[in-house]
């Protein structure tokens, strides 16, 4: 009896849903590895990707978070909740101090509501805000002048308010708990799949949503690199022979599905037509458009439908 090798994972597709959402399809996987990879990648994506957030702030004239501010519609607790929703991208690992100064009269002229948003914060060159329309507060008194200071830090995971308070850059600032992760949501789905006659394989589909400070692809790559580093340290130098996924070239080409035409399960007429037109494997077949297939010698509409159904079956 031959022991089946645990082959390498293959990132077969990346489907961009939007600028902040993407779907990653990994297939074919050794049976059981859909959940093994899906769960580990999901946990790392949600907990360990580097990001930035406000960890402390101050409002001139306010000494603690339970204060009411004459001239501001919200109280300090409401403002704290709004500050947690501002998404920053920092190009430095050092804490950054930001300021905001806004007159009620100027803000009322701008939008008629006295609304103060994240885009009103003065930013240095190494800091960006991905959601500038995030509301901070509303100024009700045209004579009121709002002056705020913020500390933005980079980190991973979650920073409790107690820890933020211990490490405050300025002791007179109000500490704020922070969620650094730029990844908002991760979902994964495991399905059975096949390559040729091998049906005991799995497909993993991971959907990653970010806050716009990092692309889903960057987050996915960072999570995979973190796991590689962790497991490499535990392996103590041990290594296994590389075993490419079934149907994938050893060179690692994402589209290198090398399954021969004879093994696709097509009718003899269709398979012979493809081979006679110098098409010998699945890789060459899936790169042909419908119009190119129709132009093949001895290849009719029935053969086209058969091929399309077979490609859908093998790649789903």
216 lies in some domain = yes
121 and 81, same structural domain? yes
pLDDT tens sequence across 187-222:
999 999 877 667 788 999 999 999 999 999 999 999
1 lies in some domain = no
- CATH number reported for the structural domain that contains residue 97 in this entry: 2.170.120.12
159 lies in some domain = yes
Distance CA 69, CA 193 (A): 60
Closest C-alpha among 115, 177, 174 to residue 149? 174
pTM reported for the whole predicted model: 0.72
With beta carbons less than 8 A apart as the criterion, state whether 223 and 41 touch.
yes
pLDDT tens sequence across 264-293:
788 888 888 888 888 877 777 877 777 788
- CATH number reported for the structural domain that contains residue 16 in this entry: 3.30.1360.10
Give residue 1's pLDDT: 44
| One-character DSSP codes across 169-213 | SSTTSEE--EE---EEEEEEEEEEEEETTEEEEEEEEEEEEE-SS
- CATH number reported for the structural domain that contains residue 292 in this entry: 1.10.150.20
């Amino acid at each position: 009896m031959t022991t089946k090798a645990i082959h390498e994972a293959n990132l077969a597709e990346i489907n961009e849903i939007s600028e902040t959402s993407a779907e990653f399809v990994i297939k074919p996987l050794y049976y059981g590895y859909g959940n093994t990879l899906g769960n580990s990648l999901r946990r790392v994506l949600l907990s360990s990707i580097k990001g930035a957030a406000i960890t402390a702030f101050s409002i001139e004239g306010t000494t603690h978070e339970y204060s009411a501010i004459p001239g501001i519609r919200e109280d300090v607790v409401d403002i704290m909740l709004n500050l947690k929703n501002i998404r920053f991208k920092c190009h430095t690992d050092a804490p950054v101090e930001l300021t905001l100064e806004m007159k009620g009269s100027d803000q009322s002229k701008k939008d008629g509501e006295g609304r103060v948003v994240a885009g009103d914060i003065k930013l240095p060159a190494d800091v960006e805000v991905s959601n500038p329309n995030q509301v901070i507060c509303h100024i009700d008194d045209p004579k009121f002048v709002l002056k705020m200071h913020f500390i933005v830090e980079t980190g991973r995971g979650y920073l409790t308010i107690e820890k933020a308070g211990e490490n405050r850059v300025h002791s007179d600032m109000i500490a704020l708990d922070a969620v650094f992760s730029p990844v908002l949501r991760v979902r994964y789905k495991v399905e059975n799949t096949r390559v040729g006659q091998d049906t005991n394989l799995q497909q993993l589909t991971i959907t990653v949503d970010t806050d716009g400070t990092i692309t889903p692809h960057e987050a996915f790559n960072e999570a995979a690199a973190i796991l590689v580093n962790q497991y490499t340290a535990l392996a103590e130098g041990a290594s296994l022979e590389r075993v490419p996924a079934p149907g994938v070239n050893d060179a690692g080409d994402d589209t290198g599905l090398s399954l021969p035409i004879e093994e696709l399960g097509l009718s003899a007429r269709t398979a012979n037509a493809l081979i006679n037109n110098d098409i010998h494997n699945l890789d060459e077949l899936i790169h042909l458009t419908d119009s190119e297939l129709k132009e093949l010698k001895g290849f009719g509409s029935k053969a086209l439908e058969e091929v399309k159904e077979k490609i859908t079956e093998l790649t789903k």
